[in-house]
Structure 1
Amino acid sequence: TPIWRERENLLTSVPGVGDVTAHTLIAELPELGALNRRRIAALIGVAPLNRDSGTFRGRRMIAGGRANVRNVLYMAAVTSIRWNPAVRTQYHRLVAAGRPVKVALVAAMRKLLVILDAILRDGRPWHPA
């Protein structure tokens, strides 16, 4: 339908997001563009969960959410680190600060998800800042 085609064109305007990623997001994540960034990150499972109890401060982890979307977003984030300047800058900043590579990659996934959510919410294609 024309609405899906428009959503696909908006999503694929972002460097690092291809047809497979766009189709998966459209099919499995109809909420994209309608929720705020914290809720959409929690829905996918890229928002950190804390395991604190009393004075004990546990490690942060990601869990839950929609696994198919998270898997596709992982590959899109790997591609975006190479081709998308906004995601690349954040990733290299975190790695330079001493964060583990996988932690920086999950942060890149979340950054990409927030960008895609904002693009669909505003209805405007990608324009680098």
Structure 2
Amino acid sequence: MERNRLHALEHSVYKSKRELKRYGQRLKLIEKQLIEIEKEMEILVKNDPQLHQRIKHLESIPGISFKSAATVVGETLGFTGFTNAKQLTSYAGFDVVLKESGAYKGKTRISKKGNKHIRSALYMPAMSAIQWNPTLRKFYERVQPTKVKPMIALVAVERKLLVLMYSLWKNKIDYDPEHEQKKTARTEVLAAQDRSNLALTTS
């Protein structure tokens, strides 16, 4: 927000050199404090060996940094209170809702009523995943409806990352790309079988 304000001020007709200087100083202070806070987070996690190990499980996912993992764990209190992935995605605001009224049928969208900090923490990891994670890149390409609306598919990747983090945390294991690829392949085979069976029953 401060960067946006500085950018607007720099391109404003009326601007003050003193005000620009103050904005620059404010940004440097914020960046310094963010670094300090992240270091404090790392110390807190390292002081708890069990927590440290479980955070490492989440960091094994390509694209998930320490800060992203720690934020999700902190915002969910270590995934306590969730008995399944559906509850977790609903809490984060990734649950799908259908906008409709009477005979009107609208488009489906995510609710965004949940924890915005989790959604924010997973945005950049999702961007990274679709570039460097072959499994999630394939998933992204499959769910992307049109080239004009990539955000829909990106949100789907964020949701998948959150569910994956929940699974690794719960099972205390590292990310296994081969397991994910095999799981995706099995899903595609089952989907193809269902389509074939449906075609036979309707023919």
TM-score by length of 2: 0.58
Give me the whole-angstrom Cα distance separating, in 2, the residues matched to 1:46 and 1:13: 23
Which of 22, 25, 28 is equivalent to 2:69?
A: 22
Kindly name which structure, 1 or 2, has the bigger radius of gyration based on alpha carbons.
Answer: 2
The one-character-per-residue Cα deviations of 1:49-76 (angstroms, maximum 9, x if unpaired) are 1122232212222221111111011111
Q: Which residue of 2 aligns with 1:127?
A: 176
Q: Which residue of 2 aligns with 1:12?
A: 59
Q: Which residue of 2 aligns with 1:74?
A: 123
Q: Which residue of 1 aligns with 2:87?
A: 39
Give me the whole-angstrom Cα distance separating, in 2, the residues matched to 1:122 and 1:52: 39
Would you tell me which structure has more helix in proportion to its own residues?
A: 2
AA paired with 1:13?
Answer: S
Deviates more, 1:29-38 or 1:75-84: 29-38
Give me the whole-angstrom Cα distance separating, in 2, the residues matched to 1:121 and 1:86: 21
Between the two proteins, the alignment pairs up a number of residues equal to: 128
Q: Which residue of 1 aligns with 2:141?
A: 92
**Residues 1:35 and 1:82: Cα distance change in structure 2 (over 3 Å):** farther
Stretches of structure 1 that go unaligned for 5 or more consecutive residues are none
AA paired with 2:135?
Answer: A
Which of 53, 65, 70 is equivalent to 2:101?
A: 53
AA paired with 1:20?
Answer: K
TM-score by length of 1: 0.89
Q: Percent identity?
A: 30
AA paired with 1:116?
Answer: M
AA paired with 1:7?
Answer: R
Stretches of structure 2 that go unaligned for 5 or more consecutive residues are 1-47, 180-203
Secondary structure of the 2:100 match is coil
Higher relative contact order (CA 8 A, sep 6+): 1
Give me the whole-angstrom Cα distance separating, in 1, the residues matched to 2:160 and 2:113: 18
Structure 1 residue 64 corresponds to structure 2 residue 113: yes
Give me the whole-angstrom Cα distance separating, in 1, the residues matched to 2:123 and 2:79: 17
